[in-house]
Structure 1
Amino acid sequence: MLLCSLALLGSVVTAARAVTVYGQIPLAQTISADPTNTAIVAVKTPPAHSKAELIPQPIPNPPPPAAYTLNLQRDAAAVTGLSVPHVGAGFGGFSIEMSVISQVLGKNSSFIPVPWLNLMANLQERAGSVVVRLGGNTQEYAKLVESNPEPGNTFYKDMSDLQGTTLTPSVHYTKDMFYMASNISALVNVKFFLGIPFDDPVNWRLQIAENAQEILGDNLLGLQAGNEPDFYQLFQRRTVYSPQLYTEELHDLIAKIDANPRIPNKHMLLGPSVGSSIPGVTWTPEQVWETGWIDTFKDRLYAITVEHYPDNNCVAAFGGDGNTPAVIPQEVLSRYITHRAAVDLVSPYQNSGRLAAAAGKPFIMFETNTASCGGFPGISDSFTAALWGVDYGMQMAWSNFTHGMLHVGGQNVVYNPFTAPPTNQSAFNQWTVGPVYYSAIVLAEAFGKSNTSRIVDLWGNAGNVHTPSYAIYERDVLSKVALFNYVNDPSGASTSQVSITIPGGMPTTVKVKYLLADTLVTKSNITWAGQTLGNQLDSDGRFRGALNVTTINCDAGTCVVPVPAPGFALVFLDSTAEQVNVGQATHTFATTARTKAHNTAKVDPTVLATSNGHSGMNRDEGFGSTSVGSISAAPGRSMMLVEGLMTLGAVLAASAWVMRSVFR
């Protein structure tokens, strides 16, 4: 989100022997590359790996009733207020800022991190496919170039081309970016969104549309036309701007697309992607709809998109004007552990959701997370965020959103669904899986692959905001019930006892999967159905531990499901449903690492730059690989060979090849 881009900020990296750290705040320090030097130098931990925890909220006074009943209908025809059917890829997707793509997806098309592939495979197993957006604010100034100064790197940040009031460098990328995305789609079923730069409405740069359609083919879903245009005037990207002027520019863009034979699909734009973050300053979606925008452009759109964060941490992250105090995470923790958080976030978009459904278009929350400018430490990286993400996702789905795209940044943010190690070499550390990734997993299982899932907010337990609940219908029959408990009470006294009844249709047993952690504020040992993706710097993207699915016997047409405090339960009324027995994905990518004798990593302060993702430097500057001689001067595209080799043996062989390419 553009609010994140407020000042130039230095980045820090976790220290390890033989690592050089330049320009560190408050004092630059160098760690000797001499292996005989055993001096220990204290280096600040990047925010993405902080272990600091907040104080849990007390039990609400009065506490929610511990026992309550949900009287449900078996047939969808008897239920009012159901959402549209959720069709296609899993509900939860990811928005990756263009400036940090190399940290997440790899340095080039032959250097794709295996942990990330495993994380996508887990979602594919549950939902069939995954949607990923590559772009953000840094897409607006992105430029296609023949090559970059660092051999073997697809991305480069041009510090001689600083843009806007935030002095954000433009991202230069090579054609290899499209091969990288295509190679990923050949390994796991990932579908992509990209964005057309909107910085120069006179000389449109359409190479991203040309190459994306040519190379990605059906794996390209849509092209964003403008990222948060309601911020363009505020941040001096336009002198004067309005919904009407944005509409006129979109007309001009479409005319250029129509005249371009290299863009055969003329009907895959995304917009208007308004941020709607500052009431009275930025635009509401309704101000855009009043121009006739939907009727005018619906035949040219793949989907209608908006972007929104519930809050921001910009003052703490970048400093302010001296008049606005920084948000204290402990003071806002309570806002994230109530059903009202999800309801209040989504309610402004209910009208837009209805309009999108009437126009026959998907409605996508194209960028969101717990808070812009990196999130709140202790909230965004704790179990609170996992529960909040599931509730928010289900509330969006009920309001006819078809996807919710969680934003991904670098080392200086705390809201990441997943974070690569402080360097891109696993010999130093492993990946960190954030709490909101578990949210995406739960949503994928809740909606499944049937393309018929419809959801309704039950407002159970007399509408108590600490114990929300939803029902999910598939093929017009009740299939799952989602139960939350936002109370933090390790004593067990606040465990909910939820009685589920279905007149004439209750099974004799139900299966339950639990999302659990010790407290709301814990950052470790989060489990889904008894399995975990590891703690900080401890994951290869694969679930660990035995799958634990609870069987609950029903008596006299009633099933009583306990929900720990805190916790979440997904109740499967059909014990034979495919998702019941899904744990670790069957299609995985093995990860190993060798001991290397030549490890040296550095961060050049000239490439540190502000971006949505933060720490969005070119992390490969000056080191590339830690194996001598392993970097080619040309972008690799060998991963394309995997596309026709999807037998089990070929997959394993391809996986081993990817592993060697990434971790050798």
Structure 2
Amino acid sequence: MASLLTVLALASTSLGVTIYGQLPLGQTQTEGPWATTTALAAYNDTRLTPPAVPNPAINRNFAVQLQRDAAQVPGLSLPHVGPSFYGFSIEMSVITQVLGKNSSFIQVPFLNLMANLQERAGGVLVRLGGNTQEFATMVEPDDHRIEPGHTFGKTISGSTQTLEFVLYTRDMFYMANNISSMVNVKWFLGIPFNDSANWRTAIAEEGQTILGDHLLGLQAANEPDFYVTFGRRQAPYEPADYKREVGELIQHLETRPMITNPRILIGPSTSGQVWHAEQVFETGFLDDYKDYLYAVSVEHYPNNNCIAMYGDPNSPEAVRPQELFPYYLNHNNVVELASHYTANANTAATYGKPFIMFEMNTGSCGGFAGISDTFTSALWALDYGFQMATQNTTHALLHVGGQSVFYNPFTAPPSNQTEFNEWTLGPVYYSALVMAEAFGKSNTSQIIDLRANENNQNTPAYGIFERGQLSKVALFNYIDDPSGANDLRVALTVNGGVPTSVSVKYLEGISVNEKNNITWAGQTFGNKLTVDGRLRGSPNVTTIPCDQGQNVCTIPVPAPGFALVFLSTSDEALAISQSPTTFSTSAYQRKHNTITWDRQAVQTSNGHNAGELKAKLGSTSFGWLNVASGAAPSLGGRGGPVPLVVQGLLGTMVGLVLGSVLQVL
């Protein structure tokens, strides 16, 4: 690796920065509707009042009886086959913010965050798409609508600044491939479905050619049940119409010489708001196309914030986050939510297909201030992830939008602040990290809801079996009580006897409304605008002695908090903390941050699936909407990708992250 040490300084001095008219990154207002504030959602500081302590008090000292042998446990899930249970769905319109501006300028924090998941689960699944994939069009690198040096662009029309197309160049595939050469990321792409009479399949053709085995699947339509609502089809448009169009797509793919494998489609990706997946299955979708499907998919958000964010926040129909807060701290709601798709998952299994929750998060239209960006969402996403796994969901993809949403697992800073600010981590990223560690790399993990404490809504628990034996126990405490009076003491007993001791890792926040000080096994990624993708601090694994005479291990769980109990002190996951593979850079972006976000712009992107208006997006590039026609330098074109220069790749690839982007050779 020493020969690759090339420290590239994009600038020899640090220039002063003057910001004119910059929206505040955070605000301290804690009352009134979010719509009255001007802060970017990703940096919003709104805190809600935690739900009251249960009255009467719950049983805080309860026992959980466990079987050691999986064969003695009815109702276990199918074995979970890796990589990580949680992956990420990145809206196509914000790929530049998350992955990088081109194949030679890749976001270092993203690489580090993926490396940490790879360390625990062997790899990560990432989908590039969303509602904006339906308008995606590949253009040549010299297309005047693509900003010089960039892989992505948009076409905007009319005085309403309506998004017409998301533009990308062939370099998008080299960017993804370069990422996969450094961390084990596997990709899903989406075939545009806005014009079924004139299929645009370049994304499939170039994707298979360039990504090869790194490309797992191609989505055939995104939320087709919303197509009439979004104006993409004329009514009536029914499940049978969608099924017919998928057949037409298959016929088209089989005529394209660059398509080496047309049998990796993903569908039906219904939202469950207009159609349910079962209605598509009833058309013969699975029977007729099973040989062409990589996976069966759905998309679902438990609630939406569309009216409050983009309509009248005082409308009686607008969701009040404070009133909704308790919903996300109730295990019964998680069980009910996951149960909507149990039959779908089992149907997929009968056809030998993975079942993927292809897009999800705390709420559509960006989620909720004070919920989606707090410790509450970390606990909720963990509980929901375990619950989906118990019901044979194979993977779930947490959606990633821009800086205008609350629910992001990770957010890059505004582009003019990359010299002095770093990334912001959303609490649900910790959920993905913990799930990866809980399931591990064995490809044998089976999960069961233990219905602990008489199935109390505040104290869910799960058993995790690997290689046919009890491996770990997951314990939750949803109650918010800093006094310690509602901390749990859970007595674990095991048929066949407990070990001499167990090891415990804790996911902790001082309150369910906490946004910053969240730790996993004593380590944290840092507070907003300080994240480089690496864990900080020393790992803290608690050893708890067991009473073998009484066959009991008593595990404390703070209120609020989560505990992952390792039954074997030799479990390899105990030693996992920071991935030994990390990335560093000395490169900075110096761009004007001129992002404009029309209030109706994101109703049909970034998971905002409940609006009726078409997307209207502004530009993230200074003056780009008025750029004159001209040739941009090629980023690779038909000749291949530009070279990558990895900065600071030392042995274990450990280095100081000085900026937000990476140049790789």
> Secondary structure of 2:367's match?
coil
Structure 1 partner of 2:322: 330
**Residue 168 of structure 1: CA displacement?**
3.2
| Matching residue of 1:433 | 425
Partner of 1:200: 195
Distance 2:515 2:276 in 1: 35
Match of 1:601 in 2: 592
Deviation at 1:642, TM superposition (A): 7.4
**Would the aligned equivalents of 2:23 and 2:40 in 1 still touch at CA under 8 Å?**
no
Shift, 1:601, TM fit: 1.5
Say whether 1:410 aligns with 2:402. yes
Cα pair distance change 1:154/1:617, threshold 3 Å: farther
**What percent of counterpart residues are identical?**
54
CA contact (8 A) 1:64 1:467 kept: no
Look up the match of 2:605.
612
Residue 107 of structure 1: which of 101, 105, 113 is its match?
Answer: 101
TM-score calculated relative to the size of structure 1: 0.87
Partner of 2:494: 502
1:269 to 244, 265, 268: 265
Kindly provide the CA deviation profile for residues 513-566 of structure 1, in whole angstroms up to 9, marking residues without a partner as x.
Answer: 000010000101100000001011111111001000000100022100000000
Conserved in 1, the CA contact under 8 Å of 2:580 and 2:652?
A: no
Deviations 1:319-349 (A, max 9, x none): 0598653211001100000102211111111
Give the C-alpha shift of residue 88 in structure 1: 2.1
What residue number does 2:611 align with?
Answer: none
2:223 and 2:515 mapped to 1: Cα distance? 32
Aligned residue runs from structure 1 range 442-521, under 5 A: 442-521=434-513
**Cross-structure match for 1:255:** 251
Return the letter of the residue paired with 1:203: N
User: In structure 2, how many angstroms separate the alpha carbons of the residues matched to 1:144 and 1:23?
Assistant: 33
Identify the residue that residue 4 of structure 1 maps to in structure 2: none
What is the TM-score with the length of structure 2 in the denominator? 0.87
Q: Which runs of 5+ in 1 are unaligned?
A: 1-15, 25-42, 625-631
Cα distance change, pair 620–185 in 1 and its aligned pair in 2 (3 A): farther
Structure 1 Cα separation of the partners of residues 644 and 457 of structure 2: 52
Q: Which residue of 2 aligns with 1:360?
A: 352
Q: Distance in 1 between the 2:214 and 2:57 partners?
A: 49
The answer to whether residue 596 in structure 2 is matched with residue 634 in structure 1 is no
TM-superposed deviation, 1:579: 1.1
Q: CA deviation at 1:290?
A: 1.1
Matched, 1:155 2:148: no
Q: Distance in 2 between matches of 1:62 and 1:633?
A: 68
**Aligned to 2:428, what secondary structure does the other structure show?**
helix
Q: Which position in structure 1 is the counterpart of 2:28?
A: none
AA in 2 matched with 1:142 = A
1:400 partnered with 2:392 = yes
Aligned residues of 1:602 and 1:622 also touching (Cα < 8 A): no
Name the structure 2 match of 1:243: 239
In 2, Cα distance between equivalents of 1:323 and 1:340: 28
Q: Using the TM superposition, name which of 369-378 and 255-264 deviates more.
A: 255-264
Partner of 2:33: none
* 1:172 equivalent in alignment to 2:167: yes
The letter of the residue matching 1:354 is N
| 3-state DSSP of counterpart to 1:107 | strand
Q: In structure 1, the residue corresponding to 2:502 is in which secondary structure? A: strand
For the 8 Å contact 1:183–1:640, the answer to whether it is kept is no
1:185 aligns with 2:160: no
Matches of 1:487 and 1:654, distance apart in 2: 38
Contact 2:188 2:218 survives alignment (8 Å): yes
Structure 2 CA distance for partners of 1:63 and 1:602, relative to 1, 3 Å: same
| Pairwise CA distance, 1:506 | 1.6
Residue 661 (structure 1) aligned to one of 652, 660, 663: 663
> Aligned AA for 1:97?
E
What is aligned with 1:628?
none
1:283-322 equivalence runs, <5 A: 283-319=275-311
Residues 584, 648 of structure 2: 8 Å contact kept: no
Task: Assess, with a 3 A threshold, how the Cα gap between structure 1 residues 157 and 246 changes in structure 2: closer, same or farther.
Answer: same
Is 1:136 paired with 2:130? yes
3-state SS of paired residue (2:415): coil
Partner amino acid, structure 2, of 1:575: T
2:5 matched to which residue of 1?
Answer: none
Tell me, in whole angstroms, the C-alpha distance in 2 between the residues paired with 1:413 and 1:507: 46
* Residues 381 and 434 in structure 1, CA contact (< 8 A), matched pair in contact too: yes
Distance in 1, Cα, partners of 2:125 & 2:300: 18
CA contact (8 A) 1:162 1:169 kept: no
The one of 522, 531, 534 equivalent to 1:539 is 531
Once the two structures are TM-superposed, the CA of residue 621 in structure 1 deviates from its matched residue by 3.9
- Counterpart CA distance in 2 for 1:135 and 1:345 is 24
Name the residue aligned to 2:216.
221
Q: Which amino acid aligns with 1:661?
A: Q
Secondary structure of 2:189's match? strand
CA contact (8 A) 2:100 2:661 kept: no
Q: CA deviation at 1:389?
A: 0.5
Q: Secondary structure at the match of 1:334?
A: helix
Structure 2 vs 1, CA of residues 559 and 23 (structure 1 numbering), >3 Å: closer, same or farther? closer
1:417-455 Cα distance to aligned partner (Å, 9 max, x none)? 000002265213110000000000010011000000000
Structure 2 residue 95 is the aligned partner of structure 1 residue 94? no
Shift of residue 591 of structure 1?
Answer: 4.6
SS of 2:506's partner is strand
The verdict on how the C-alpha distance between 1:562 and 1:656 changes in structure 2, with shifts beyond 3 A counting, is closer
**3-state SS, counterpart of residue 230 of structure 1:** helix
**CA distances 1:53-73 after superposition (whole Å, capped 9, x unpaired):** 111111012222100001110
Letter in 2 for 1:475: R
Q: 1:510 to 1:591 in 2, by over 3 A?
A: farther
Equivalent residue, structure 2, for 1:233: 228
Over the aligned positions, Cα root-mean-square deviation in angstroms equals 2.9
Q: Distance in 1 between matches of 2:113 and 2:618?
A: 23
Tell me if the contact between 2:77 and 2:389 (Cα under 8 Å) persists in the aligned partners: yes
Candidates 560, 564, 570, aligned match of 1:570: 564
- Distance in 1, matches of 2:582 and 2:655, equals 12
| Deviation, structure 1 residue 99 | 0.4
- Alignment-mate amino acid for residue 169 of structure 2: T
Is residue 549 of structure 1 aligned with residue 544 of structure 2? no
Alpha-carbon separation, structure 2, partners of 1:532 and 1:482: 20
Contact 2:586-2:659 at 8 Å conserved across structures: no
Shift of the 592–525 alpha-carbon distance from structure 1 to 2, 3 Å rule, reads farther
Cα distance in 2 for partners of 1:162, 1:131 equals 39
Residue 382, structure 1, aligned to residue 374, structure 2: yes
